[in-house]
Amino acid sequence: MLRASRRALRPGGRTAFHVIELPSGLDDRQRRRAVSIGPPVVAVRTSHESLLRSAGFVDVEAIDATAEYLDTQHRWLAATLRHEDEMRATLGDDMVDDGLERRRRTIDAIADGLLVRTLYTARR
Amino acid sequence: MADLSDKTRLMTDDALLDSERFAQRHAASGRSGPLAVEREALGSDYRATGYTTKAQADQLGRVLDLRPGKLLVDVGAGCGWPGLYLADTFGCSVVSTDPVPEGAVAARDRIVADGLEDRAISVVATGDDLPVRNGSVDAIVHSDVLC
């Protein structure tokens, strides 16, 4: 997808995207926990910075957005609980319960330093 | 070999379950409860379920220097967040893409509702096969698509 993005961009055009990933320095146990909780992309061992450079992008910058990610997860959780009855009526108990459990596990993983969110910017 | 087979089957079942959840979630995302939750969590009302807040969408617009005359492609935009918002806020044109037809249709409806028909289009497409000419685009976003 990054190569397709680069092809589509005019020379000097820019891409920007947020991605959830693993911080460096996790031991095997931490990594297994993070991979079990995070989105599938976190299992990729190659850094997004490397992927961008391999695709031909230059001026690659990474801006940490983990604090905002944690705050957003808390806000999703709080908002879901505020509207819990309506959410259960709309989505069903199983989906709401599963979503709340996933949300809480993710919040714990972020707070424990196992998941980070990064804004990458790069230029063709 | 049996272990590998079992793992493969489990992964396939999980993928199907996620797909079913996605379809169910998408069908419900336009209703009042999920929309209220989205507004409080992200500050948006585009049936988004990710983590890009309105403040972060504004940041994307600034770092990409979006303005009238620029062409943006939003890959995996779902129902139009944040690409349609960026077009509406920064005045750029946008090609909103998503591989899920229901999302692209919802984005098309939002384009009409927001009066963006003259500089926004919604297309069913994957990130590997973008519906634009090579070298024609000023900026590309795909927030949380790799998640």
Tell me how far apart the alpha carbons of residues A44 and A46 are, in angstroms, rounded to a whole number: 6
Q: How many domains does chain A fold into?
A: 1
ipTM above 0.85, yes or no: yes
Strand partners, B96: B74, B122
What is the tens place of the pLDDT at every residue in A80-90? 999 999 999 99
**Which residue stretches of chain A are H helix?**
2-8, 28-37, 48-54, 66-82, 84-91, 93-111
Q: Are B36 and B109 in contact (CB under 8 A)?
A: no
Q: What is the predicted pLDDT for the residue at B144?
A: 76
Q: What CATH architecture does domain B14-142 belong to?
A: 3-Layer(aba) Sandwich (3.40)
Q: Are strands B71-74 and A9-21 parallel, antiparallel or unpaired?
A: unpaired
Cβ-based contacts of B134 with chain A (< 8 Å):
7-8
CATH of the domain at A73: 3.40.50.150
Question: Structure tokens of A107?
Answer: 């919040």
Q: Do B134 and A1 touch (CB under 8 A)?
A: no
Question: Domain residues for A98?
Answer: 2-123
What residue spans define the domains of chain B? 14-142
Instruction: Find, in chain A, the residue whose alpha carbon is nearest to that of B42.
Output: A72
Confidence of residue B123 (pLDDT cuts 50, 70, 90): very high
Q: What was the pLDDT predicted at A52?
A: 95
Full DSSP string of A60-86: EEEEE-HHHHHHHHHHHHHHHHHTHHH
Beta-carbon separation of A5 and B75 below 8 A = yes
